[in-house]
Structure 1
Amino acid sequence: MSSEHMQIGEVAARTELSLRTIRHYEESGLVVPSARSRGGFRLYTEVDVARLMVIRRMKPLGFTLDEMRDLLDVVARLDAGGEPAPDERDALLERVRAYERAAAEQVAKLRVQLARAEEFAGTLRTRLDRDGQPEA
């Protein structure tokens, strides 16, 4: 096995995804191991790890598997060798812009939720500070 290939355990450690999650993404067609070892073990490359990191970042923002697959396809087409035709490139970039806008909207919603959660935790701390002191 060459050093450029990693087994699933190393990929899981690097991406902080479980083996089960990586296998699920493989079954969903989001990432496909670049090779197999002689023993049949999945082998991944840095490109595969990068795809998994995109997926990992999209998941908490509520993107569906189909949306993840679409964005990964768009990015792969933009990164492929050779320049796409100008119309195709513009269409691909517009799809990336749409995902960026959707991600920014989700981030804003999550910030509101986080602020509310912090406020709630603060009220609990205040309550404990006020009422949770043992009597002297």
Structure 2
Amino acid sequence: MTAKTSSTNTMHIGELAERTGLSLRTIRHYDDVGLLPATARTDGGFRVFSEDDFERLMVIKQMKPLGFSLEEMAEILALLAAPEGAAPERSVTLAGFLERAVHQRAKMARNLAQADEFIERLSNRS
């Protein structure tokens, strides 16, 4: 296979890294663990990614700071990709992940507020 240019909606790992702000190492790791398998490889073995891969990686990037494990991320991605009526437990499982994400975000917001208060305290002492 020959690599296509980004104008045909595929990109090499470098472009994907640039667009997402993630390192090449991180993207390779996600490929190696099966979380973001490359759409294809060139004849030379270089990874080629699609716009769908970019979107998937952006979801992974959103999940990462919320503390989801790689296994949980894979499960969430599979649930999000499944059709709405695919399995009755899909909605329940997604609701559980949503509850965890909301809780973790609230915790992060409290930590950020504490950091802001500390910065303000230091600024007032300067």
TM exceeding 0.5: yes
Task: Report SS of the residue matched to 1:17.
Answer: coil
Larger Rg: 1
Tell me the residue number matched to 2:15.
Answer: 10
The alpha carbon displacement at 1:97 in A equals: 1.3
Matches of 1:78 and 1:55, distance apart in 2: 19
Match of 1:63 in 2: 68
Instruction: Note the residue ranges of structure 2 that are not aligned, 5 or more in a row.
Output: none
Q: Distance in 1 between matches of 2:24 and 2:46?
A: 13
Equivalent position SS for 1:91: helix
Runs of at least 4 residues off by over 6 Å: none
| Secondary structure of 1:50 counterpart | helix
1:108 aligned partner = 106
TM-score, normalised via structure 2 length:
0.90
With the length of structure 1 as denominator, give the TM-score of the two structures.
0.84
| Cα distance in 2 for residues equivalent to 1:78 and 1:23 | 28
Matched with 1:74 is: 79
- What percentage of residue pairs aligned between the two structures are identical? 44
Q: CA RMSD in A?
A: 1.3
Gaps of at least 5 residues in structure 1 are 129-136
